[in-house]
C-alpha cells in the first residue's frame, strides 16, 4: 500500500494569504518531506477545506511535488469557479459527506438549511466533470434511520464508492453519551498514513488528534 498523508486545513482563517504564511509553510514543508519518503497520496480535510482560499495553490503544490492521488473531503457547499478549475485541471478526487436521501434529514444533521441541495449540486457537477467521486455516510442519532436510504439514493446517482460509518467521539462528534475517544478508533492508526494539521502537528490519523507524534519542520 502506498503511504498517504492527510492534511487538515482546520482552524485557518478564510481570507486571502500567501503560502509564505507560517501555517501554509508548515504544510508545504510537510508535503515536501512526505514526497521524499515516497508518499504519493494526499487528502485535504477540515473543518471544511474548500473555505480556505489557498486550497487551489496547495493542490497545485501537491501535484508539482509528484503526488499521484489528491483528494478533497468536503461537504460540497462552497466549491467556487476558481476551485472547480483547479480540481479539474489536477484530476482531484472528491469525497462528499452525505447524511440522508432528503433535505430535511440531511439539513437536520448539518444544521444548515439548504445544505442538502448544495451538496447534491456539487456531486452532480463532479460526476459530470469526470472526477472520481465517493461519498461518506455517517450515522448519527439524528439520521440513523436514513443511512440505508442515503446509500441507495447515492448509488442511483451513479456513485459506486459509498462508505457508511458511525459517529466517532472526536471533535464535534463528542457528547456525553459517546464513548472515550480512544475507544472510537478503528485500530489502523499510522497504517501507511499520517495526519498533518495546519499547525504542523503530526498525528497517527485524523481521529487521533489527541496523540501528537511529532511536528512538521519549516524549511
Look at residue 17 and tell me if it is in a domain: yes
More confident position, 66 or 213? 66
Query: Which DSSP string do the residues of the chain spell out, in sequence order?
Result: ---EEEEE--S--SS---TTSHHHHHHHHHHHHHHHTT--EEEEESS-GGGSTTHHHHHHHHHHTT-SEEEEEE-SS---HHHHHHHHHTT-EEEEE---SSHHHHHHHHT-TTHHHHHHHHHHHHHHTT--EEEEEEE-TTTGGGHHHHHHHHHHHT--EEEEEEPPSSGGG--TTS--GGGG--S-TTSSEEEEETTSEEESSTT-TT---EEPPP-
More confident position, 83 or 12? 83
The model's confidence at residue 206, banded by pLDDT at 50, 70 and 90, is low
Kindly list the distances between the CA atom of residue 28 and the CA atoms of 24, 71, 97, 207, in Å, as whole numbers in the listed order.
6, 16, 26, 22
Look at residue 31 and tell me if it is in a domain: yes
- Mean pLDDT, range 68-93, rounded to an integer: 96
More confident position, 167 or 15? 167
Look at residue 63 and tell me if it is in a domain: yes
| Site of grid cell 509564505 | 20
Spatial contact of 163 and 175, defined as CB atoms under 8 Å apart: no
Look at residue 183 and tell me if it is in a domain: no
The answer to whether residue 31 scores a pLDDT higher than 70 is yes
Structural domain for 27, as ranges: 1-74+190-219
C-alpha cell at 118: 448544495
- Mean pLDDT, range 157-186, rounded to an integer: 65
More confident position, 181 or 104? 104
Structural domains of the chain, count: 1
The pTM (predicted TM-score) of the whole model is: 0.79
Look at residue 142 and tell me if it is in a domain: no
Look at 95-99, 168-172, 209-213 and tell me which has the smallest mean pLDDT.
168-172
The reported pLDDT for the residue numbered 77 is 96
Q: What is the 3-state secondary structure (H, E, C) of 172-202?
A: HHCCCCCCCHHHHCCCCCCCCEEEEECCCEE
The answer to whether residue 212 scores a pLDDT higher than 80 is no
Look at residue 175 and tell me if it is in a domain: no
Look at residue 125 and tell me if it is in a domain: no
* Average pLDDT value for the chain: 80
Amino acid at each position: 500500500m502506498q503511504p498517504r498523508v492527510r492534511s487538515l486545513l482546520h482552524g485557518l482563517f478564510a481570507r486571502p494569504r500567501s503560502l509564505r504564511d507560517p501555517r501554509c509553510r508548515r504544510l508545504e514543508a510537510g508535503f515536501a518531506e512526505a514526497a521524499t519518503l515516497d508518499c504519493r497520496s494526499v487528502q485535504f480535510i477540515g473543518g471544511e477545506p474548500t473555505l480556505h482560499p489557498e486550497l487551489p495553490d496547495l493542490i497545485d503544490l501537491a501535484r508539482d511535488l509528484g503526488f499521484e492521488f489528491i483528494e478533497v473531503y468536503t461537504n460540497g457547499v462552497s466549491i467556487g469557479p476558481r476551485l472547480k478549475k483547479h480540481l479539474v485541471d489536477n484530476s482531484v478526487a472528491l469525497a462528499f459527506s452525505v447524511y440522508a436521501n432528503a433535505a430535511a434529514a440531511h439539513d437536520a444533521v448539518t444544521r444548515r438549511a439548504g445544505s442538502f441541495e448544495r451538496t447534491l449540486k456539487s456531486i452532480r457537477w463532479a460526476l459530470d466533470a469526470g472526477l472520481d467521486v465517493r461519498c461518506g455516510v455517517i450515522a448519527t442519532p439524528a439520521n440513523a434511520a436514513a443511512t440505508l436510504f442515503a446509500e441507495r439514493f447515492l448509488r442511483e446517482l451513479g456513485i459506486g464508492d459509498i462508505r457508511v460509518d458511525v459517529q466517532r467521539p472526536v471533535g464535534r462528534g463528542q457528547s456525553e453519551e459517546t464513548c472515550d475517544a480512544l475507544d472510537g478508533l478503528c485500530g489502523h492508526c499510522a497504517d501507511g498514513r499520517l495526519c498533518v494539521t495546519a499547525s504542523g502537528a503530526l498525528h497517527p490519523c485524523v481521529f487521533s488528534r489527541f496523540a501528537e507524534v511529532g511536528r512538521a519542520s519549516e524549511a
